[in-house]
Amino acid sequence: MMFDYTQLHSGILSENEMNKAISYIKARECSSGGYCFYRQNEPNSSDTYFAIASGKILNEAFPVDSSTIAFLENKQNPDGSYFGIIEAFYTVLALSEIQRKPKVDTSSYILKKVDSFKIQDLPPEISIFRKIYFLITITRALKTSIPSGMRRNIIDFIFSFKNEDNGFGNLNNSTLLETMQALRVLTWLKCPLGRIIDTISFISSCNILPWSFTNKPNTSHAFVEHIHAGYIISDILRITPTFQKESMKFIKGCQTTLGGYSRSPFTGIATLEYTFFALDSLRLMQKFFFS
């Protein structure tokens, strides 16, 4: 498994809330294998990963039959490559959660992508760390060794986008999401905690009322992915977030009548992606509530 999805404590969600979430996820399983949040027989690797991972958090092992395994395995090309990095990311992680590996060793393909990574290839609206975050996550899931020179280059690349506010982002524009991606990669590459501990000042500027975590300092607009990122960073830096009750209220307010979770208590529809972000946020929160 890539991540240790510790089961939710019974004090975090009521039995009714958990059962509603389980029913929501189960209803999105496709007859041909895999999952699709809009309930058509059109499975995709990301929804399949979010469903499987959410099931583990809920202590509900959704059956993964041969059709789902075949769906995931068939995403890979005969030479070990994938249609793209996003496809590789979700497919490898989904397989990892059911303790399986790709049919063909994909290490060479992934390392070539890491070595050829260029920020110039990214659209301006996309996180500068998103692609490298996906790639390093895959190497971690596959237990692929990264050469020391490549490791140093990645670390240097990430630190080149550390800003004066001690957050990470492009053009002196730090965001919580990019900072989370940067810190996760640096941690996985064995960067000493001492080199990133000053990021506490940045996360503190994003940890404000009314909903605890926002994507940018001193703003009040929050979504479920921001709460999720804030608790990941808090876990990495070994700090206790303030406004924990507000975080909990926000996440629990995202559960819809269908049982899934939306991006915000105030807008949007439930998806498997937001349901995973919400449930994993609650999983991370329980470390602080029950520690």
Average pLDDT of span 226-243? 95
- The pTM for the full model equals 0.94
CATH number at residue 84: 1.50.10.20
Query: Residue 280 domain-assigned?
Result: yes
235, pLDDT greater than 90: yes
Interval 23-37 mean pLDDT: 96
Are 32 and 41 in contact by the 8 Å Cβ rule? The answer is yes
User: Is residue 5 domain-resident?
Assistant: no
Residue 95 falls inside a structural domain:
yes
Residue 6 covered by a domain: no
CA distances from 33 to 59, 67, 84, 95, 244 (A): 21, 5, 21, 13, 38
Are 222 and 213 within 8 A, CB to CB?
Answer: yes
**Domains in the chain: how many in total?**
1
Please report which confidence band the pLDDT of residue 112 belongs to, taking 50, 70 and 90 as the band edges: very high
Residue 11 is encoded by which pair of tokens?
A: 């004090």
CA gap 57, 229 in Å, rounded: 17
Token pair recorded at residue 18: 């958990």
> Which domain range does residue 127 map to?
15-289
Task: Indicate if the pLDDT at residue 186 is higher than 90.
Answer: yes
Residue 118 clears pLDDT 70, i.e. is over it:
no
Does any domain span residue 128? yes
Report the alpha-carbon distance of residue 174 to residue 229 in Å, rounded: 13
For position 116, what pLDDT does the model report?
80
pLDDT value at 11 more than 80: no
Average pLDDT of the residues in 46-66: 91
Top pLDDT among 118 and 156 is at: 156
Cβ density class 263-282: b for 16+ within 10 Å, e for less: bbbeeeebbbbbbbbbbbbb
- Confidence tier at 280 by pLDDT (50, 70, 90): very high
Answer yes or no: are the C-beta atoms of 106 and 88 closer than 8 Å. Answer: yes
Cα–Cα distance for residue pair 229/226, rounded to 1 Å = 5
Q: How far apart are CA 280 and CA 291, in angstroms?
A: 17
Q: Residue 265, Cα to own-chain centre: how many angstroms? A: 20
Residues 246-261, mean pLDDT to the nearest whole number = 96
Rounded-to-integer distance, Cα 258 and Cα 261, Å: 8
Is-cis flag, bond preceding 78, omega within 30? no
Cβ–Cβ < 8 Å for 103, 76:
yes
pLDDT digits (tens, 9 = 90+) for 62-102: 778 899 999 999 999 999 999 999 999 999 999 999 999 99
Query: Within a domain: residue 107?
Result: yes
